[in-house]
Amino acid sequence: MTPSEIKALLREHGIHPSKALGQNFLADTNMAAHIVRLAGVQPGDHVVEVGPGLGSLTLALCEAGAHVRAVELDKRLAGALAEVVRAKDVDIVNADALEVDWAELLADHDRWIMVSNLPYNVATPVVVRALETAPMIDDFLVMVQREVGERLAAGPGSKAYGALSLKIAYYAQADVVGAVPPAVFVPKPNVESALVRLRRHAAPPVTVAEPEKMFALVRAGFATRRKMLRRSLAETLGDAADSVFQAADVDPRARAETLTLPQWAALTHAASTGVRFETRLDAYAKLTLSLHVTGTRVDGMHELDALVVSVSAPRDELVIRPAAATTIAVTGPFGAGVPTDAANLAVRAAAALGANVAIELHKGIPHGAGLGGGSADAAAVLVALDADPGLASALGADVPFCLTGGAMRMTGIGEDLEPVNLPDLAIVIATPPFGCATADVYRAWDELGGPLGNTVAIEGLPPLRNDLEPAAHHVEPRLALFKAAVERAAGAPALLAGSGSSYAVVFRDIAAAEGARARIAETLDGQVVVGLTVDAGVRERQ
C-alpha cells in the first residue's frame, strides 16, 4: 500500500494514529515484500501478525500464499483492516497481544511464524511473551525500533548487551538482518527501525532448574552495569558471594556486560541455595506545577502541555522478588483501598513483561491525590525488571515521566517528554482527607466549556497555571476552602497538583518550606510534607 492509500484509509475511517499505541503504518510495497522474503514465508505457511494496522504487510503475506492470523488491539483499525483484506485468507483477532492466550489462539496448527511490524511501545514484551508462552511459534521476523533490535541481538561486551539480550539468547538465536528508514511509514517516526530474525532453540542452550532465578540474578548484575560483579551482586549473594564466584569459575572483578549465558547459568547454579533475589526501590511522587489543556482528541483523551517534577516526598517504597505468581502486599499510611489485583498498575506492569514477582508496597503517596502514585509504582516494577522503556506509555499516561523523573515539559497525553532546567526547589505538598476522581474532573472541564486556571508568578519559574482547577473545585467544592487555608498558613500561592486533590506551595529555601509545613499542619487535617526536587523518578535503595 502506498502512503496516499494509507492516508486515504485513515481519513475514510476517521482514524488518527496514536503515539500511545505506537501506531506507524508501513506504506511501502517493496519493503513489505522484502520483509516477507526475509521471513522465508512459503505457500501454505501459517503466519501470526501482531499489529497489522491497515494491512500493508498482511497483503504481502497473502501474496506469498500464507494463511494469516492478525492480532490487532485497536478496534477501529481491525474494522478498516477487514475491508482491506476482504476475500483474503486472513483471520482478524481483535485482542491485546500482551494478554492473549497464545496456546489457545494458535492451537489449530503445530508450527507458526511471527512476521510483524511491532508497535514500538510493546515490541519487547510481545517478543518475550511469545518466546515464553508460544512454543508453536518457532521463527520470528519482526520490525522494531533500531535500538531495541540491537538489544535483542546483542552479544557479550557490546554496548547494547543487557538483561534483555540474555533472556532472548536463552530462547532463540537473534540477528539483525536489515534496516528500515523512517520514510516508509505513515506517519514518519523519529527513529530508525530494524528487522530482527529470531529462530527458537530446540532446547535452551543452558540447563537451569529455575530460569527466573537466573534472570533475576542477571537483572541485579545489570542494574549497576559499570560496577564489578562483586559489588553489583553483593546484596543478592550476601555472605555467600566469594564461594559462589569461586564455584562458578567467574571472576568477581568482571562486569555484567562481559559474561556469557553459560557463565550466568553457572552463577545461578552455584547460588541455588540461600541466595536472596530482590530489588528495593523508592518511587517518587510526580508533581504537576503547571497544566494547560490544549485540546481534545477524537478518542476523548485530552492533550496537555504541563510542567512536571519529581519530588523526594511523599514516596512509595517497594521490595520486588521473583515468585511463582505475581502478588502484591500493601502497607503504609495510605495502603487502605489500594487495589491488589490487575487494576493495580504495578501488577499490570509485571504482567505486561510476562514476569511473576512478589511486590511489597509501602504506600506513602496518597492515592487519588494527583501525585502519580500508581504510575510511580509501575515505573518501579519496570526498573526492577530491566524493562524496555517503550512499555511505559502502554501502562498509563504518567508512567513514562515517573520512569524518567526529573523536571520535564509533558505534552500529548503524557507520552512526549522534554527536559527543562529548573532551580532546586523545596515544595510543601498538602493533601486533604478527601479527593476527586480524575475522570470526573476532566468531564466537568468539558461540561464547563474548558475554563482556564489563574496564572501564578513565582520567581525563577515560568508562569504557572492549572486549567483543571476550576473543574476540580466544581467537582469537590471543599478544595477551594482547603486551598484558601493553605495559602493563609503558608503566606504564598498554592498550586493544584494535576486534577487534585493535593496543593503545592513552592519555595527556594528549605527552612522557609519547613516553616510553612509546620503552620499548615497545625491548621489543617491531612498529610503535609516537604519534598525536594530530584533528578530521578525511581531509585534503587542501597
The full 3-state SS of 50-80, as one line of letters, equals ECCCCCHHHHHHHHCCCEEEEEECCHHHHHH
Detail the DSSP E strand segments found in 161-278.
172-180, 185-186, 193-200
How far is the C-alpha of 460 from the C-alpha of 207, rounded, in Å? 59
- Which residue among 74, 316, 386, 398 is the active-site one? 398
How far is the C-alpha of 469 from the C-alpha of 491, rounded, in Å? 20
138 DSSP 8-state letter: E
- Concerning whether 282 is annotated as a catalytic residue, the answer is no
Residue 303, C-alpha cell as written in the block: 492533550
Q: Which of 211, 215, 209 is nearest to 256 (CA)?
A: 215
- Which residue among 286, 377, 467, 483 is the active-site one? 286
Beta carbons within 8 Å of 12's beta carbon, 6+ residues apart: 80
165 DSSP 8-state letter: H
3-state secondary structure of 425: coil
How far is the C-alpha of 112 from the C-alpha of 70, rounded, in Å? 12
Q: Using an 8 Å Cβ cutoff, are 435 and 405 in contact?
A: no
Q: Which residues pair with 180 in a beta bridge?
A: 193
Residue with cell string 516553616: 515
Residue with cell string 568477581: 252
- Concerning whether 249 is annotated as a catalytic residue, the answer is no
Q: Which residues pair with 540 in a beta bridge?
A: 281
Report CA-CA distances (Å) from 362 to 171, 312, 367, 375: 35, 15, 12, 15
Detail the DSSP E strand segments found in 181-301.
185-186, 193-200, 279-296
Q: Using an 8 Å Cβ cutoff, are 288 and 466 in contact?
A: yes
How far is the C-alpha of 483 from the C-alpha of 47, rounded, in Å? 58
3-state secondary structure of 385: coil
Beta carbons within 8 Å of 468's beta carbon, 6+ residues apart: 291, 293, 441, 442, 445, 453, 496, 498, 499, 500
Residue 90, C-alpha cell as written in the block: 486472513
Catalytic center residues: 286, 398
